[in-house]
Structure 1
Amino acid sequence: MMKILLPVDGTDLSLHETRFALQLVREGLKASFVLVNVQEQATFYEIVTAQDPALIENAAYEAGEDLIAPSARLLTEAGVPFETAVASGEPVNSLLELIELHHCDMVLMGSRALGPWRRLIEGASTSRKLIDESPVPVLLVKPPQDR
């Protein structure tokens, strides 16, 4: 059985990617999933001013779990096995660590098409960087086209 890392963020686009993953399973792919959400790391200011730094960590974990929930519901309803993970930090490095930690065979993620100006300002997208650095194949799911 193939283990697939599926980064999600609670958006309609994430649900589109989750439905695509389920379509692959319905077509015969034997797979389990690792639903993952990567939270931004707390800022230095947030850490210094926090009465209890563990509260920041707990809040980030709970936010990540909430964002995973819609995709988790779809997989549960379909009877597809999955586990969840919430990470924090730079997205590409976090995803690379999770690929290794969970022994994933593939990543399935959405491509957020950046326009030419945003690409110029922000550099390569997370998906582009992950394709370049991932030790496993990365399958990009295009956003649904308006019909």
Structure 2
Amino acid sequence: MYRKILIATDGSAVSNLTACAGVAFAEQMRADILVLYVAPEYQYPVYIEIIPPSYPSEEEYRIAMRKAGSGHWQPVLDAAAKRGLEASGLTAFSDSPALKIVEVAQLQHCDLIFMGSHGRSGWGQLLLGSVTNKVLSHSTLPVLVHRLIKEPPAQ
């Protein structure tokens, strides 16, 4: 039914468990997987007149975020490989993660977006819940929202 599934992750423990469920679902469908991490856009320090030498350049920031992104999606790729699934990872940049998730899913010809109902814990959980709601309201593709029954232990 589904040939390519986008699994959105933010690297949190909840998101990692959701990604594992996404891999299991993809295995049932025999679908390929695209794991997506959306990093915030680079922010110039607007509160000062001169950029301090210790402040990362935009290029340094992008390199660091790509490395962080690959750290978030590599375990998902490894899990997919163990199940014999084709999988790739992508780090994208946007200050609107929901719209970027929808855009990437369309550009990469995905059939389904698989994501958690919430990501980070505490206040961040509310924000990522709103990301899920925005994806649901903006996507023309089917969105499967995975909800954990039990929260993972705090780290």
Q: With the length of structure 1 as denominator, give the TM-score of the two structures.
A: 0.81
**Deviating runs (4+, > 2 A) in structure 1?**
9-12, 21-26, 48-53
Task: Select the structure that is richer in helix.
Answer: 1
- Residue 37 (str. 1) matches residue 42 (str. 2): no
CA shift, 1:92, in A, is: 1.1
Count of residue pairs brought into register by the alignment: 141
Alpha-carbon spacing, 1:16–1:59, altered in 2? closer, same or farther (3 Å):
same
Alpha-carbon spacing, 1:39–1:145, altered in 2? closer, same or farther (3 Å):
same
Please give the residue correspondences for 1:7-26 in structure 2 after superposition, counting only pairs within 5 Å.
7-26=8-27
Contact 1:40–1:88 under 8 Å retained in 2: yes
Paired letter, 2:34: V
- Which SS does the other structure have where 2:132 is aligned? helix
Contact 1:4–1:104 under 8 Å retained in 2: yes
Aligned to 1:69: 74
2:79 and 2:149 map into 1 onto residues whose CA distance is: 18
Deviations 1:100-142 (A, max 9, x none): 210111100000189xxx7xx96x7111111111010100000
CA shift, 1:98, in A, is: 0.3
- Which SS does the other structure have where 1:112 is aligned? coil
- Flag structure 1 segments of 5+ consecutive residues without an equivalent: none
- Residue 6 (str. 1) matches residue 42 (str. 2): no
2:72 and 2:24 map into 1 onto residues whose CA distance is: 21
1:45 and 1:143 map into 2 onto residues whose CA distance is: 38
CA shift, 1:86, in A, is: 0.3
Please give the residue correspondences for 1:1-147 in structure 2 after superposition, counting only pairs within 5 Å.
2-26=3-27, 28-45=28-45, 49=51, 50=55, 52-89=57-94, 90-112=96-118, 125-145=130-150
Two-structure CA RMSD over aligned residues (Å): 2.9
Deviations 1:48-67 (A, max 9, x none): 83564211111111111111
Contact 1:10–1:70 under 8 Å retained in 2: no
2:63 and 2:148 map into 1 onto residues whose CA distance is: 31
Deviations 1:56-100 (A, max 9, x none): 111111111111122122112212111111011110121122012
Contact 1:35–1:83 under 8 Å retained in 2: yes
Paired letter, 1:33: I
Contact 1:10–1:69 under 8 Å retained in 2: no
2:22 and 2:119 map into 1 onto residues whose CA distance is: 20
Query: Identity of paired residues, percent?
Result: 21
Q: With the length of structure 2 as denominator, give the TM-score of the two structures.
A: 0.77
